[in-house]
Structure 1
Amino acid sequence: MSETQDQAGPSERFERTCDRLRQLYHGRTPAALRFQFATLIVDLLIIGFFIATPLLRGKPAFLWLDYAVATIVLIEIVARMLASSNVPRLLRQPSMLLDLFILATLLAPQWLENFGFLRILRLWSLSQRNLLWGQLRETRYREWEDVSRALINLVTFLFVVTGFVYTFFFMGRPGLDGYVEALYFTVATVTTTGFGDITLPGIGGKLTSIVVMIVGISLFVRLAQAVFRPQKVTFPCPQCALQRHEPDAVHCKACGHILKIPDHDD
C-alpha cells in the first residue's frame, strides 16, 4: 500500500500544481487576480526590454539580460501549458506560436539577430489574452475596450516597423541616434506627413515605405472608428451570442432576447 502511495505521490503533486496554476491563471479570486496583475507587469517590463534592445545590444550585460528574459519567458510558457486543459490546442494558438518564436530569438540572439524586431509582437500577443479585458469589462471603463485594442495594434505596428527599419536600414548608426531616426521615419511615414528629410534607399526602401503607409493608414482609421463611433459594450447575448450592444440596451437587436447588462456607473 505504501509503495503504491509513493508511486502516486509525484503524480498527485503534479496534478495539484496544475490545478493551482489553472486557478491562478483563470480564477477570479483575490489571489488569482493579484497573480494575473503581477504577470501583466512582468510582461510589460519584458516588452520594454524588447523596445530598448537596439539601444542595449552593444552593452556588456546585454547577453545576461537577454538570457534572463529568455528564462522568464520559458517559465511562463511552461506554466501556461501546465495550466491548460488542452495543450495541443494551446500550442496551435497564434499567440503561443509567437511566444515560442520569441523564445528562440532570445536563446539564439547571435543567429536570429535580424528577427529580433519581431519580439515587439509580444505586445499584440498580450492584448489577445482576456486577462486585461475581462477586468476592464467589469468597470465603468468597459466601453474603452475597442479603443484600447486599436491603440495597442497601432503602437505594436509602429515599434515593429521601427525595429525593422533600424535593423535593415539604420544598423550603421548604432545607439540612440539611429533608433530615433528609424522611429522618426516610421511615424512620419505612417502619418503620411512626408517631410522627406529621412528616406530609405533603393527599391526595397520604397516598397517598405509603401507598405508602412498603407497599413499605417488602415490602423489609424480603425483607431478613429473606435474613438468616434457610437459606444457599445461587450456583453454576449444568452440566446444568440451577439457580443456588442448599446450600454442601455434592454433587448438584443438580433434576436430580441432580454438582456441584463450590468451597470458600472457607480
Structure 2
Amino acid sequence: MGSHAPGSHGGTLRDVIRFYLLDHKTIVGKAIDISLLVLNLVFVGVFVAETYSVAASLQSMFWVIEAGISVIFLVEYLLRVYGARSRLDEIFNFYSFVDLLAILPTLAVLVLSVPAATANSGFLRSIRVVRVLRFYRFTRDEEFFFGTVSVGTLRVMKLLLTVLTIFFVAAGMFYSFEHELNPGINTFGDAFYFTVVTLSTVGFGDIVPVTQPGRWVTVAAILAGIILIPWQASKIVKEWGHRDKVNVVCENCGLAYHDRDASHCKSCGHVIYQEFDSRE
C-alpha cells in the first residue's frame, strides 16, 4: 500500500476512510492504529477491573469509560462498513462481527435502556469477553504501525495471542457463570488462575466448577487449547522448514518453494533452473 492518501489524488470520501483505516505508514494511519490499540487495551482492562470490589465512584468512572469507548468503536464499525468496497462482505467479516459483538452489551444499556446490572451478569457479561478478539485485527497482515515483520514473526505473535485469548475468554466466561455461586471465584483473577492451572494440566483442585455452564466452559477451553494451539504452532514449524527454500513456482505443476540448488521440480521433474551460487 502506498503512503499517499487517495484524497490527494481525487479519491472519494469512502476511499479516504478505507485508506486510513487500513493504512500503517502515514502519520494519520499510525495514529489511528495506536489509538485503537490503546482503547482496546483499556476496554479489556475495564472489563477485568469491574470484577473487583471498588468504590462506587470508581465503578461509575469505569462505566463512563466503557460507554465512551463503545461509542467510538461503534463509529469505527460504521466507518469500516461505509468505506468498504463491499459493504455486505464487511458486515459478515469475522473481525467486524467481533467488533460489533464486543460492544453490544454496553450499547444495550445505552440505547435499549437495559439495566446495567443485567449487562454485567450472566450471558451478556460472557459476551463482553469477546472484545479481546479485537486484537486479532492487528495481526491480519505483516504491516504494523512500527514497521513490517516477517511471516514467521507474525505467526509467533498469532500463537501467543491465541494462547492469551483462550485463557482470557475462558476465564471471563467462567467468571460470568461461577462468581455468584462458587466461593472460590470472587474476581477475574481467580477465574484466570483456575483457567491457567486447568489448561496447563497442573490441576491443583483448590477451585472446581460448581455450575453446569462453568463445566462446559472448562471443557470447551480444553478442546480449544488442544485444537488451536497445535494448529498455530504447526504453521510456525512449516515456516521454519521453508527458511532455506526459494519461492519459485514450477510452471508445470505449480509447486512453490524449492531448494536453493534445485534445477528440477521435486514434484513433477519439470526444469526450473534456479540460480545457485556455488561459493555458498
Pick aligned residue for 1:41 from 34, 38, 47: 38
Partner of 2:52: 55
Pick aligned residue for 1:151 from 148, 160, 165: 160
Q: How does 1:223-234 map to 2 (within 5 A)?
A: 224-226=233-235, 231=240, 232=242
- Cα 1:56–1:116 change in 2 (3 A) is farther
Quick check: 1:195 aligned with 2:204? yes
Residue type at the aligned position of 2:31: F
Residue type at the aligned position of 1:23: F
Taking structure 2 as the reference length, the TM-score comes to: 0.67
CA distance in 2, matches of 1:44, 1:159: 13
- Residue 197 of structure 1 aligns to a residue whose secondary structure is coil
Partner of 2:19: 23
- Cα 1:37–1:69 change in 2 (3 A) is closer
RMSD: 4.1
1:219 CA displacement: 3.5
Taking structure 1 as the reference length, the TM-score comes to: 0.70
Partner of 2:132: 123
| Cα shift readout 1:186-225 (whole Å, capped 9, x = no counterpart) | 1111112111111012554444433332222334434554
CA distance in 1, matches of 2:256, 2:47: 34
Calculate percent identity across the aligned residue pairs: 20
- Cα 1:36–1:248 change in 2 (3 A) is farther
Q: How does 1:1-266 map to 2 (within 5 A)?
A: 16-27=12-23, 29-31=25-27, 33-38=29-34, 39-55=36-52, 59-109=59-109, 110=116, 111-113=118-120, 114=122, 115-128=124-137, 133-135=142-144, 139=148, 141-171=150-180, 177-222=186-231, 224-226=233-235, 231=240, 232=242
CA distance in 2, matches of 1:123, 1:45: 11
CA distance in 2, matches of 1:223, 1:66: 32
CA distance in 1, matches of 2:267, 2:87: 35
Give yes or no for contact 1:24–1:35 (8 Å, CA) kept in 2: no
Q: Which runs of 5+ in 1 are unaligned?
A: 1-14, 260-266
Give yes or no for contact 1:69–1:106 (8 Å, CA) kept in 2: no
| Cα shift readout 1:108-127 (whole Å, capped 9, x = no counterpart) | 25344332333332333431
| Cα shift readout 1:110-169 (whole Å, capped 9, x = no counterpart) | 344332333332333431456653349x74643122221122122111111111111111
Worse overlay, 39-48 or 73-82: 39-48
Partner of 1:9: none
| Cα shift readout 1:12-37 (whole Å, capped 9, x = no counterpart) | xxx74323212212346423542353
CA distance in 2, matches of 1:53, 1:155: 20
Aligned residues: 242
Q: Which runs of 5+ in 2 are unaligned?
A: 1-10, 110-115, 275-280
CA distance in 1, matches of 2:257, 2:50: 42
Give yes or no for contact 1:190–1:217 (8 Å, CA) kept in 2: no
CA distance in 1, matches of 2:22, 2:75: 17
| Higher share in helix | 1
Give yes or no for contact 1:98–1:122 (8 Å, CA) kept in 2: yes
